[in-house]
Structure 1
């Protein structure tokens, strides 16, 4: 068994698509109209047939309080592996991405946390113990 699809709730799918492709570097995989929303997924350019990330509308009444609580407590909604957290931090900050946590080394892991502009905190991580 492997993970096929995961999702992150977003407050604006068009804005999320721009952020996740232009700032984070993902590729659009699927974009299908579903009523007023879209089935909109992105993938890593390093694994275009791998796990998809659904940019899911946050319209359900339970979602906004859930997202707000995570942000309030500084908890990332998702975590993405990178080769070099410091390099990605510098690259993305140069693009105007707001980080809530600068690169932090915790044993074998280095992490940083950013605001995805769509209501979520996202963590980037590199672990010296496992491949990115």
Structure 2
């Protein structure tokens, strides 16, 4: 059975993305390896360092740029991450100076929050009840 080991978001600046995903969201660096003009740059959940990696993929391909821009223009998050408490996460993100696009909002059985990752993407955080 296949398993998810790496997923990615396209970013317009890998250094800025690394700062956002580590300093603001709290992920930790897994790999930072040279890859031509760019880097193989992944982060992971600090509580699961062997878990799924998020690749901060350069958006150098025209299709990647168009896709990312279209999602953003339509207000569609490029990725979603779960947090235990959306309201606490909101306060912490505000303290870190994150650009909140949509403050916590109840969406049926879940609460969501959307923020700008400073690298071309909208990111959604969600708190879901135990299912």
> Per the shorter chain, which TM-score range?
over 0.9
Matched, 1:84 2:85: yes
Which residue of structure 2 lines up, in the alignment, with residue 117 of structure 1? 118
TM-score normalized by the length of structure 1: 0.96
Q: CA deviation at 1:91?
A: 0.3
Q: Where do 1:45-64 residues align within 5 Å? A: 45-64=46-65
Q: CA deviation at 1:77?
A: 0.2
Matched residue SS, 2:62 = coil
TM-score normalized by the length of structure 2: 0.96
Question: Which structure 1 residue ranges, 4+ long, deviate > 2 Å from structure 2?
Answer: none
Count of residue correspondences: 130
Matched residue SS, 1:62 = helix
**Structure 1: any 5+ residue segments left out of the alignment?**
none
Which residue of structure 2 lines up, in the alignment, with residue 41 of structure 1? 42
Does structure 2 conserve the Cα–Cα contact (< 8 Å) formed by 1:108 and 1:129? no
Counterpart-to-counterpart distance in 1, 2:107 and 2:68: 25
**Structure 2: any 5+ residue segments left out of the alignment?**
none
Which residue of structure 2 lines up, in the alignment, with residue 12 of structure 1? 13
Which residue of structure 1 lines up, in the alignment, with residue 69 of structure 2? 68
Counterpart-to-counterpart distance in 2, 1:125 and 1:80: 6
Q: CA deviation at 1:129?
A: 3.6
Q: CA deviation at 1:68?
A: 1.1
Which residue of structure 1 lines up, in the alignment, with residue 33 of structure 2? 32
Matched residue SS, 1:114 = strand
